[in-house]
Amino acid sequence: MEFRKIFDKIPEAFDKWRPRYCEELFADLFDYAGLDSSKTALEIGPGTGQATEPVLKTGCSYLAIELGEHLAAFMEDRFRSYGNFQIVNADFETYDFGQQQFDLVYSAATIQWIPEKVGFPKAYKLLKSGGTFAMMMTRTDYKSPNEALFAQIQGVYEKHFRPETPYTCKLVYDNVVNYGFTDFECRHYHKTREMTAEEFVAYIGTHCDHITLQEPHRTAFYEGVRDAIQNAGNRIILQDNIVLYLVRKP
């Protein structure tokens, strides 16, 4: 299964464990984009809505395009009370938006699944003149706050982590300026999370390559990670660097 489709197998777990974005990020995004009830927004691959509700609350006309059938149904059920909410269960790469254009096109940890030569030009085309393209994601540091524990967990990875399909996806976000966009900005926000062994195991179980783990490696891997954290006081600290890229269509 393609990694960009694999999360559709676990909508409930994905929703529970994926980190949310901070209020400061949305405040900056809305200020940059001038987003309000008179504007239109397109979210690419919302998953279960980790970056959706703050946008809906602006009153803008919102459309999501979600590849996963189960994720789209989850979104439909969650946000049906918003009159400004719409979702299409389709592939952004091939979907024909017709003459539609938006004031904001944005992605929360999704655009990396789309080749830049497809995703960046299509986002540009879908934007109105002066519109904003935003990309956000969370990069988590497990090492700095847990040096000794991190080393033990790395040992478990080296011994037991044998995913069916290795994760090789990489997008150079800065390349967006090569596709006609201007006013490039990159902003950072920081949060700290703390988890027990069981919570951390459930969390990493929503990572794409971890989902593909098969026996006998799967059980040995998760037991090894769980034991390492429990032996370290049943506590692991995660330091999140939330990144927001912003560009504008002239």
In a domain, 43, yes or no: yes
- pLDDT average, residue stretch 152-178: 92
Spatial distance between the Cα atoms of 25 and 242, rounded to a whole number of angstroms = 8
* Number of domains within the chain: 1
Residue 124 has pLDDT above 80, yes or no: yes
At residue 167, the pLDDT reads: 77
Residue pLDDT, tens place only, 39-85: 999 999 999 999 999 999 999 999 999 999 999 999 999 999 999 99
Q: Domain with 47 in it: what CATH number?
A: 3.40.50.150
Is 18 in contact with 48 (CB distance < 8 Å)? yes
Kindly indicate the confidence band of residue 21, based on its pLDDT and cuts at 50, 70 and 90. Answer: very high
Spatial distance between the Cα atoms of 243 and 189, rounded to a whole number of angstroms = 7
Spatial distance between the Cα atoms of 132 and 247, rounded to a whole number of angstroms = 6
Domain that holds residue 186: 3-139+166-193+240-248
In a domain, 182, yes or no: yes
pTM: 0.94
CA distances from 242 to 42, 94, 147, 188, 209 (A): 21, 29, 21, 6, 21
